[in-house]
Structure 1
Amino acid sequence: MSTSTTPRRSLLRHWLSGWSHAAFLVLNLLTGLVAVVLVVLIIVGAVGIIAAGSGLLLLVPALWVTWLFGRAELGRIEAFTGRRITPRRASGEPRWLTVLGFGEEHRRAAAYTGLHALWGLLTGALVATLLSGVMAVLALPLYVGRLPGEGTRIFGVVPVASGGSGQALLWVLALVALLVTPFLARLVSQVDVQLARTLLGQDAEVEIAHLSERVETLTTSRTETIDSVEAERRRIERDLHDGPQQRLVAIAMDLGMARARLAHDPAGAQELLDKAHQASKEAIVEMRHVARGITPPILADRGLDAAVSALAARSAVPVTVSVSGVGRLDPTTEAIAYYCVSELLTNVAKHSGAASARIRLGRNEALTPPALVIEVEDDGVGGADPRRGTGLVGLRQRVNSVDGTIAVDSPRGGPTRVVIHLPARPVPTQQDRYLPSPAQPAQPAPAQTATQSSPTQTSPTQSSPTQNED
């Protein structure tokens, strides 16, 4: 029973949704009239340019209004038919053509307006006439008794007698037309959709090529991100094994021997305790070096401005920092920006031979979407090449993982300038932070790591307990 009911419900939904297509075609009558007015203005403006040269004052606004009309048509098509058409992008023509309204988008919008003036009036008039006639016939039983004896004609064409079998047949035909109208409207509206897609929408081949390139880029960046995360994990594991772990093992052995000597050799036990104390402080220092690759608490607490300023203060090369309108961003963007600045400052200290460096952070709201712009410049010897493994490969992988871009300008002899654009995603709300998601079980680990690595901050408050132990 459910199997037979489902196609019926689907057919009913299809029929009901088809009325939005019919309404779209009726509105073609109004938009067709608007298109006629715009076409007349364009023609008058073009003739005015040829005749008197003053038609430009009319032609330019008319072309811009035509472009707006085309954009409105894309919205109307999506609202009534559910077909979303991506607007055509600028083709790289000179800017003055676009300003005057002579660009490719405006020319295509004018062509669409001219065709819609004909097609819209035709389909709008036919569908409006059909529906009004059908409704008049279906309502015939309500007023048939008031018809004159010789009958009447609907629209002066369809004869309607005051009685007889012809009236019943006409009523049945009108009912059939009413049932079929939504399905026919779907077919006819496809002409409007195809016309808008051809003239106003993005070229199909260009869009497919862009999507293919996008998929390839995402696939590559995903693979590189996974490799980068795995390499980072192995680095931390290796650094912990070779540094703090070995010292902690030595400390445990010294404490064990000190406990064994405490009863019969207090002086030897005290010497071992002093040695373990010194080794523990060295282990703390090594942990600080390991933790530099982990998000510091200052980044989560005070934002990118304070974290980058702290990096600049610890840099071996004098660094000036300029921050303008960055504010707080989502944690992922802030972490990647912090890592990028940290790696670039490390490269400056190790490879550039620079005497100074400059960091500029800002937001570019003119881009789509808005971007965080990171610019790091030094006065070193230049010649930075990402293919030589100077850390720029890892930067590119991090930046690509969030759909950002990185540009390196480093001629021989310097200076070196690196510009990074990262999507400036807003800070998640408190509700978003605590919504359950598959990624949340892994979130407590970074927070715990950040808490444990708090001694990496070189503030007097954090370092004083260690100094008091001396």
Structure 2
Amino acid sequence: MTAPTQVSHPGPDDDRPPPVRPALGAVAWKETVHLLGNLPLALVGFVYTVTMVATAGGLSVTAIGLPLLALGLFGSRQLGRLERARARALLGVRVEEPTPLPGPRRAGGFFPWLWAGVKDPVAWRTVLYELVRLPWGVLTFTVALVGLLVLWPVLPYVVRWLSNVDRLMVRGLLSPSDELERRIAELESDRGVVVDTAAADMRRIERDLHDGAQARLVALAMGLGLAKEKLLEDPDAAAAMVDEAHGEVKLALQELRDLARGIHPAVLTDRGLDAALSSVASRCVVPVKVAVDLEERPAAAIEGIAYFTVSELLQNVSKHAGARGASVEVWRNSGTAPGRLLLRVSDDGRGGADVTGGSGLAGLAERLRAVDGVFVVDSPAGGGTVVTAELPWRGRG
């Protein structure tokens, strides 16, 4: 028995068109419509672009020249958006939309915003696209129209070749600047996360000072004032009040130490991650094994992020895991220079850790992404939890 022939079909993430068929199928008809639409749209784009550049260039010596150019380039961006939509609908080309330009407030004022619009690389690539499209539009319109009338047997092959050139032009000139554009978008998002996190930390520190050490020191000052008044008339009562104030001083000092440890512990600065994480582990309610394998110390900022990540994860173990034990491992992966700092915190608790928005783990994941880190949680119900984190390795300067 002859084995059935295996037919290859494009996958869902593959935007290549299917193989050409001699008869005009749905894909070939879409390609033909696209080619016939090239000329009228190319005429509109060419006229707009030439008019915009000539007008803005002629007025460049006046005060309205640059604003007019920025406005015209913004219009070019919209033409590019239209062409990307048309290519998606008729050619099946999936091209990501570029990062939107920031508004005047986010750009830092009117003139930085204006300059960003004038030197917008996405808009200038669209200008180039519209300029080269006119002769190409004349060619594709003519060939597609003649093909419909005369070259019917070979029309699917002709429109496929011409459409592939269009696909290359869209990908080459109308797509974002690939990795750079994606990184800009990520950094814009991550900057907001960092700002929000810093603001939340400042509010936490202010609250802890106000409700903790500050309130205790105010009470201490009042107590010492009363003791001073009673010193001559009732020495025993004054001594008792001074003794009570002494206890309050100790508690206030402990609260201030805890607060300082929450900002940046001295042991981390002086002795590094091994000693600092051992100190954190000793305060956990379950036994914790700590293994730190680092031949050198990373930058202070990365070291601090690693410390607070492990610290929060061990707090979760203490509060929520119901575990009998946990472990912390820290090492450097030097597979590719300069390598990555890796953390792994695991426990034998109940599992089922929630990493959705609003949870503590989700907040940790956002903080690590803000510094180009990775945060992975493996927590099956009843099977314990393993959290692995990666941070970029940055050596101490």
The interval holding the TM-score normalised by the smaller chain is 0.5 to 0.7
- The CA RMSD measured in Å over matched residues stands at 2.1
User: Is the CA contact 1:303–1:328 (under 8 Å) kept in the aligned structure 2?
Assistant: yes
User: In structure 1, how many angstroms separate the alpha carbons of the residues matched to 2:281 and 2:201?
Assistant: 23
Amino acid corresponding to residue 219 of structure 2 in structure 1? A
Shift of 1:330: 0.7
Tell me the SS of whatever aligns to 1:376. Answer: strand
Q: 1:347 to 1:203 in 2, by over 3 A?
A: farther
User: In structure 1, how many angstroms separate the alpha carbons of the residues matched to 2:347 and 2:172?
Assistant: 43
Tell me the SS of whatever aligns to 2:177. Answer: helix
- Is the aligned partner of 1:382 residue 2:382? no
- Is the aligned partner of 1:392 residue 2:361? yes
User: Is the CA contact 1:402–1:422 (under 8 Å) kept in the aligned structure 2?
Assistant: yes
**1:209 matched residue in structure 2:** 178
Amino acid corresponding to residue 386 of structure 1 in structure 2? V
Looking at CA atoms only, which structure, 1 or 2, has the larger radius of gyration? 1
Identity %: 47
Aligned 1:126-205 pairs, distance under 5 A: none
Deviation digits for residues 61-98 of structure 1 (CA, Å, limit 9, x no counterpart): xxxxxxxxxxxxxxxxxxxxxxxxxxxxxxxxxxxxxx
Amino acid corresponding to residue 401 of structure 1 in structure 2? A
User: In structure 1, how many angstroms separate the alpha carbons of the residues matched to 2:277 and 2:388?
Assistant: 16
Tell me the SS of whatever aligns to 2:391. Answer: strand
**2:377 matched residue in structure 1:** 408
- Is the aligned partner of 1:236 residue 2:242? no
Structure 1 runs not aligned, ≥5 long? 1-197, 429-470
User: In structure 2, how many angstroms separate the alpha carbons of the residues matched to 1:417 and 1:316?
Assistant: 18
Shift of 1:206: 7.8
- Pick which of 411-420 and 247-256 moved more: 411-420
**2:335 matched residue in structure 1:** 366
Amino acid corresponding to residue 395 of structure 2 in structure 1? P
Identify which of 264, 274, 277 aligns with 1:305. 274
Amino acid corresponding to residue 297 of structure 1 in structure 2? A
- Is the aligned partner of 1:356 residue 2:325? yes
The structure with the largest helix share of the pair is: 1
User: Is the CA contact 2:342–2:391 (under 8 Å) kept in the aligned structure 1?
Assistant: yes
User: In structure 1, how many angstroms separate the alpha carbons of the residues matched to 2:194 and 2:335?
Assistant: 28
TM normalised by structure 1 equals 0.46
User: Is the CA contact 2:321–2:351 (under 8 Å) kept in the aligned structure 1?
Assistant: yes
User: In structure 1, how many angstroms separate the alpha carbons of the residues matched to 2:344 and 2:261?
Assistant: 21
- Is the aligned partner of 1:221 residue 2:190? yes
Amino acid corresponding to residue 186 of structure 2 in structure 1? T
Q: 1:410 to 1:368 in 2, by over 3 A?
A: farther
User: In structure 2, how many angstroms separate the alpha carbons of the residues matched to 1:272 and 1:414?
Assistant: 54
User: In structure 2, how many angstroms separate the alpha carbons of the residues matched to 1:413 and 1:250?
Assistant: 48
Q: 1:389 to 1:226 in 2, by over 3 A?
A: same
- Is the aligned partner of 1:316 residue 2:285? yes
User: In structure 2, how many angstroms separate the alpha carbons of the residues matched to 1:294 and 1:205?
Assistant: 46
**1:141 matched residue in structure 2:** none
Tell me the SS of whatever aligns to 1:292. Answer: helix
- Is the aligned partner of 1:423 residue 2:385? no
Amino acid corresponding to residue 373 of structure 1 in structure 2? L
User: Is the CA contact 2:273–2:292 (under 8 Å) kept in the aligned structure 1?
Assistant: no
- Is the aligned partner of 1:295 residue 2:264? yes
Q: 1:328 to 1:253 in 2, by over 3 A?
A: same
Q: 1:216 to 1:350 in 2, by over 3 A?
A: same
Structure 2 runs not aligned, ≥5 long? 1-167
User: In structure 2, how many angstroms separate the alpha carbons of the residues matched to 1:210 and 1:294?
Assistant: 35
Q: Count residues with an aligned counterpart.
A: 228
